[in-house]
Structures are given as structure tokens and as C-alpha cells.
Amino acid sequence: MAENTIITRVSTSLQEVDAAAWNGLLARQAHPTPFMRHEYLAALEASGSATPDTGWTARFITLWDGATLVAACPLYLKSHSYGEYVFDWAWANAHAEHGLPYYPKALVAVPFTPVPGTRLMARDAQARGALVRALRQWCEEAGVSSLHLLFAVDEDLDACAQAGLMQRQTVQFHWKNAAPGSDSGYRGFDGFLEHLNQEKRKKIRQERRRVAEAGVTFRWLRGTDIGPGEWDFFYRCYAHTYWEHGNPPYLTRDFFTRMAAHMPEAWVLFIAEREGRPIASSLIAIDAYPSGDRGTKDTESVAYGRYWGALERVDCLHFEACYYQPLQWCIEHGVRRFEGGAQGEHKMARALLPVPTRSAHWLAHPAFADAVDRYLQRETQGMAQYLEHLRAHSPLRRPAGP
């Protein structure tokens, strides 16, 4: 690729970018997720979920070699730091204390979605490097305080490092459908429990029993089997739980209408019922693409815990709806990994184990960049010790000695 022939375009709406070209480039990546699909990002915009009114002003950066899309990413100008899950409040406060604006800042991420995956879609490493340079140039010309690339994968981070961006590490908790010492998945939920230590195995069985004894049962719906009524009920639960915590929901009902219409294959819904009445629900995404979109890649290897809500309180219902039902579904359907979302050491008791996640950052102000760089070096050391501590407390049963 001759870089002097590459044209950079900046669009204010994803509708200005051809969906087939965007999704075709995504399908070529080593770590695509459904959340980077054109349909998903366009729905965030069109539904009013991620718009200037909610603090997300979109700019879609695309690099073209003639009529061929060779690199692309979403970029959002942010007027706050909500909905990101990599926390930079201290950086914003430090800017404010010195009379410097921190907002707007630039964010390369999927709004409200702390899922690791490709952020810099590119035809090859050269195009990815060109995309990072285009991002930095755009940020400098726009006069933003900083650029943040969140929940990125190694290919993205390598390109960012070459462009001088600093790196930061956080922790998530993921579950793997693989019996220790074996390449095969678990044989049923009870088979999974047998690989946990006695304390955790007993705790999970107690929690599940409490839900069952409360008269709660679950049904699963997938894809187009989720009808408008089920989507309405799910959204009622989702919004109710947000409002219970004093916050408006990030996503609008129209967003989920668009998911049902344009990418239904990506969703599995769990509905909890008691005495014939639905009382709670949880929604997961799955790494499933329409036929042909993923080429020879596996089509159902990852599930992502996303949203939940309840209209009635039942002891341990959250654990059942958000962890045990999805894990059981993953085991029965051969899904290899379940990602539980951001934060939450309590997930380890449900056999979701700690994994590092990474982000890349650039700050325009040299003094603040130096200070943050020193801070990140200390934070990285502390994070390594934290991960080591977590792994030492694995819920998995230790193999018997010789």
C-alpha cells in the first residue's frame, strides 16, 4: 500500500459509510465482535442513544485506497466520561484544577460496551499504522485534550505504541468452556461444577436452589424467536433497574427495535417467570454473523453478558439470570467463552476468571502526558500484583497430586 495514495475521510454519520464495505473490513479482523458491526453502531446513532445530546458526537474515520476501504474506526467526541468503563475522572479533575479543559476528548470505543475486540479495523499492519497517525493528526487539528482507545487488542496496541500512545491495563472476568486439562467443553452444568472447589460448588448450588424454591423458572429465546412483546418486557426490566439506581438507561427502546430488525442473530434472551408471570430478564450477545460475513472463522465462539433487569426481588435472582443461565446455555450450545463485562470480583465465585484488558492514551499537554505516563507505570505494576493475587484464589479445583 502506497501511503501517499491513501485518502482519509471523516464522516459525521455512519450512514455516510457503505455498510458492506465496513462489515467486510470487520470480517477480516482477528478479533471482530458484533458491537463493531455497521448495524450496531448505526443503531446507537439513529436511536438517539449515542448522540451529541447524550454527550457522544460521532466521527467515523475511514482510509481509502481508491474505492477500497483499507482502514476504519469509530471516534466519539465526549463531553463527559460516562459509559466508558475505563475511568479517567482523576485526569479530568487534574486538568480542571489547572484551568485546562479536558472535554471534549476523543474516544475510539463502542459506546456503553466494555467488550475487548478490534477497534482499528485495517487491511494490514501498514494500514492500521496509517489509521493511528490519521487519528492523532485529526485530534491535534481539532484541539482536543486527549485520545483514548479502549478495550483494544494486541494489533491495535502495537500500532498505538509505535505512534507514541501510552498504554493502560485493567481487569475483566471471563469464563472458558473447557474442562481443566482438556480441550473439550464441559459435559453439562453439573460437569462444570465438578471442576470447582467444594466451597464454590456448594455456594452455586445453594444460590440456584434458592431461586428454584422461590418458584422461578426460565425460558430461553434466540434471534427471531424474540418477539416484540418479549423485547418490550426486557426493556421494561432493563430501564426499571437503571431508574432504581437513580440513572436513566443508556440505551433507548428504539435501539433494541433496530437490533431485532437488523441483527437478531446476535441476541439470546433469558426470561424469568414465577406463577406464569415474567418477573426478570437478561440479554446476552453472541458472536454470530449472517452467513458468509465471517468467511472461514468460527461463527459461535463467544457470548457476552450485556443487560439485565428485574421487576420483583428474589434472593440470588441476579446471579441466576446473569451467570448461571447464560453459562448453562453456553455449555449446551458449545460456546467457548463467556465474557462477564466490566469489573466485579464477585464473578470469580461463579468461575469467571481474571484476564487483563488494555487501552491506549494520548494527552495533548506535554506536562500532563508526562505525569500520566509516570502514573501508568506505577499502576501497571500494581495491576500485575492484583492479577497475581486474583489468580492465586482461583475457584477451580486444584488437580490431585502425584
pLDDT digits (tens, 9 = 90+) for 22-48: 999 999 999 999 999 999 999 999 999
Domain ranges of the chain: 3-172+356-391, 178-335
**Residue 149 and residue 336: Cα distance in Å, rounded?**
26
Residue among 261, 309, 301 at smallest CA distance from 285: 301
337-342 and 302-310 beta bridge pairing: parallel
Q: What single-letter amino acid sits at 13?
A: S
**Statement: residue 292 has pLDDT above 60:** no
Tell me, yes or no, if the pTM score tops 0.75. yes
Please name the amino acid found at residue 228. Answer: P
pLDDT in tens, 342-373: 878 889 999 999 999 999 999 999 999 999 99
Return the CATH fold of 178-335.
Answer: Aminopeptidase (3.40.630)
The cell numbers describing 345, all together, are 470480583
Determine the average pLDDT of the residues in 185-213.
95
Q: In this model, does residue 294 exceed pLDDT 70?
A: no
More confident site: 366 or 180: 366
The two domains 3-172+356-391 and 178-335 share their CATH topology (first three levels equal): yes
The fold of 3-172+356-391 is: Aminopeptidase (3.40.630)
pLDDT tens readout for residues 230-262: 999 999 999 999 999 999 999 999 999 999 999
* pLDDT at position 298 over 50: no
Residue 290 has pLDDT above 70, yes or no: no
How much is the mean pLDDT over the chain?
A: 93
Closest C-alpha among 165, 160, 77, 145 to residue 368? 145
Residues 6+ apart with CB under 8 A from 116: 31, 151, 152, 153, 172, 339, 357
**Burial environment of residue 394 by CB neighbours within 10 A (0 to 12, 13 to 18, 19 or more):** middle
